[in-house]
Chain A
Amino acid sequence: MAQVEVSKKVEPGLRGEGGEKKKFVTIYYMGKKYRVPAGLTVLKALEWAGYRFIRGVGCRGGFCGACAMAYRLPGEYKLRTGLACQTVVVDGMYIAVFPYLAVTKPRYNIEELKPEAGVVLKIFPEVSRCIECNACTKACPQGLEVMDAIQEILRGNLEKAADMVFDCLSCGLCSIRCPAEIRHAWVFQLVRRLYGKYIAPKAKHVEERVKEIEEGKYDEELDRLVELARKDIEALKKMYMERDIEK
């Protein structure tokens, strides 16, 4: 395929600058073959190939979990999983990006719950069906110990579980691999909230400051600053430059 000039409309990152010779790789998107520049993520490569996405794209930076995908590398039997915005194209890879994963979330009132494993199991009874196959862990694009976290919940250690799955992006890849039908992302969401709300010690200094503010302790000082901002910017600038900075 001939080298093609890329328009201004293309995300600036894709413009070939410095006259470097673009290298190309071949990928198969839903079975269709495309030659795309090497070094791009799957998401950017598919866009370059002419796709405009509505589903299967979100933050584009590895935070939202919208671009869960499955792929196969040449010569491998393994079905790999990843995020399309974080995975770089490999020559010969077969790709499918998931538009949606039907992992529904039950409703609950956090105020009425206790931070206990029993509460989690009552809302998500399927957690007890875990057969420790570890398919979830293998599917996790964040590299989390998903199955171990489920086991920690079953052992009643919500604190440990919350810590282990803090980096979860709720992409849902573990759930579609899970033979026990566990909705991991929402189980973990509940566990983290129970930990954050009920188990983690409260920040007393924040509570004290809130009280001081409600009592009006800072109002006079703030009103004076607002007044200066309106009428005497030079005085405010002076205060700004003279303030000390914590090392």
Chain B
Amino acid sequence: MVFGYPPELREKIRIVEETREERLKQVMKRLSLEERDQLVRKYHPDYRSDTKRPVRIGANRGEIIYNEVVDLLEAWPAENPDDVDLTQIDYDVDLLIIGGGGAAAAAALWAIYSGVDPSNILIATKLRFGDANTVKAQGGIQAADRPNDSPARHFLDTFGGGHFANRPELVKALVRDAPFIIKWLEDLGVMFDKTGEGEMIENAGGGASRKRLHAARDYTGLEIMRVMRDEVWNYGVHIVEFQPAIELLTDPETGAVSGAILWNLETHEYRIARAKVTILATGGFGRLHLAGFPTTNHYGATADGVVMAYRVGAYLRDMDSAQFHPTGVAWPEAILGELITEKCRGLGAHLVNVEGKRFIRELEPRDVVASAIIRECSEGRGIITPTGKCGVWLDLPLIDIINGPGTIKRYLPAMYRQFKRQGIDITREPVLTYPTLHYQNGGVAIDPWTHVLNKEEEWIHGLLAAGEVTGGVHGKNRLMGNSLLDITVFGRRAGITAAKIIKETTTKPKLSLKHVEKYMAELEKLGVPRTRRAPRILPDYRGKHVVIRSLFIPY
């Protein structure tokens, strides 16, 4: 069994230790926009010619999107519309929320605060309520609430980090609501890291010009999720787990979204949900393993929301970009691709190549740092791992050296544990890191009150969306700490908007799969093979030796 570093790596760790003192004196220069651009263009997977292609169907026809996503957009529905009986309605509610992460929880709570009866809300989710990327967010949540900071500064940081491609009114909503969200979470009982006087301990993050990352150790997302989830449970909202949506339903006359087909993952029974408003909060696409990368994402992150929204005419933004977190685990194999939080770099950890040298200012935006790591590896300055991969060092012991002994165990317990279980003590040893697929920067286009938009920027009635499934908030690259903020700010706005629509809607919508039939006619014209189906519910990691010998036998 592999446990801890083998001798050949111990040898290389010595170089990291010997150069530590010298590196601590070094100040890394900020890159200019031109330098950033050059680096990213040369090394980031977003700019590789083989990772993307134009999509041939739907609102984004002709636009460049990652291959793995195009495969799902140019795909037949999972169900055959003729097999589905829409006359038997199993759930007839005001509000249907699809997804079980932070955006879904925030939307449910704010819909309730805004007057929607909890018994008239249905949350349908693929795994358990709370099994989402939210619980894996470690480092923190941004909000400009210190005296030397301002929402305008947060706007500028977010916009620049996103390569100036963000939708400005969404960024305004994000930064303006941020302090309120922190206050709300504090009032719900979220245990943020604070001083004895109650002042938030705020950390630095890549691309942020002020220290504004509010954390709860390195379990920030878990803490926020479980508190919101506890509150949703307390209200008695009806939650169906292991029963994801596989298709949206539309009113045949107006084209407005009127519910969804849900599918019981275990019994394979489909169920029909009718709703006055549907909120998509299905999260991102990490489990599609874009460009062959490992991912930090949870098991259900398969872009199903994007696929369903696209079939009702939603426009997708910035799906040509994906966020590769600079510091994924490169070794040991058991935890390959898992996240090493940016908080580590925020607390002073250096990125170091095989020669013991720093090669980038560690707090540049994520795409820039990821590109620099890929450059080091492709130019032979990386470290080859025992499994033949490449990585660079993240010098974690520096955190205790800079901030005092005990900092790692107190503020990075998840990181400490993750490596300790593999025989590595991060208070004494550096770790090997390489970029990992982390976040869906783009997604379904929305306006500031979360209405889903078509290509003409008109509302798709009945459909709202919040969180990672949406695009525009982060442009082409999200900053650390802006995703937990995204799900809470826009989850809240979705809940408020839903309540408003529900109040104004007196009639029950009609159900059809007309939009799917239309989409299928287009697929037919394109000659898409019938075997290609979407949405994909879960990834398939079975060994090939098993798959090639499996027989399907009715029993």
Footprint of B on A, CB under 8 Å?
4-14, 16-20, 25, 38-41, 44, 47-55, 57-64, 66, 86-88, 90-91, 105, 107-110, 142-143, 162, 166-167, 169-170, 189-190, 192-198, 200-207, 209-210, 213, 218, 221-223, 225-226, 229-230, 233, 236-237, 239-241, 243-246
Contacts and interface: CB of A to CB of B under 8 A. Distances in A.
Contacts of A210: 145, 179-180, 183
Contact of B198 (A18, A62, A203, A239): A203
20 contacts: A5-B544, A11-B541, A13-B333, A14-B541, A14-B543, A17-B387, A20-B387, A39-B1, A40-B334, A50-B550, A54-B266, A108-B234, A196-B186, A209-B145, A210-B145, A222-B151, A223-B172, A225-B155, A229-B159, A243-B157
B186 A169 contact: no
Contacts of B187: 197
B200 A205 contact: yes
A41 B144 CA distance: 40
Given A59-B136, A108-B234, A245-B30, A205 B146 contact: yes
Interface string B125-163: 001101111011000000111111011110111011000
Contacts of B15: none
B188 A6 contact: no
B265 interface: yes
B179 A17 contact: no
Contacts of A192: 189, 191, 223, 227
Contact of B211 (A86, A162, A213, A246): A246
B160 A202 contact: no
Nearest to B156: A240
Given A20-B388, A204-B199, A205-B200, 13 more contacts: A13-B333, A13-B337, A18-B384, A39-B333, A41-B335, A48-B543, A63-B221, A195-B189, A195-B191, A197-B189, A206-B200, A218-B152, A222-B152
Nearest to A109: B234
Judged by DSSP, the binding face of A is loop
A52 B531 CA distance: 20
B497 interface: no
A205 B145 contact: yes
Contacts of B289: 11-12
B233 interface: yes
B198 A200 contact: yes
A213 B179 contact: yes
B544 A7 contact: yes
B219 A63 contact: yes
A132 to B, nearest CB: 25
A18 B166 CA distance: 41
Contact of A58 (B152, B197, B299, B339): B299
B52 to A, nearest CB: 18
B66 to A, nearest CB: 16
Interface in B159-205: 159-160, 164, 166, 168-169, 171-172, 175-176, 179-180, 182-183, 186-192, 194, 196-200, 204
Nearest to B166: A229
Contacts of B417: 62, 142-143, 167
Contact of A17 (B194, B210, B389, B421): B389
A39 B334 CA distance: 6
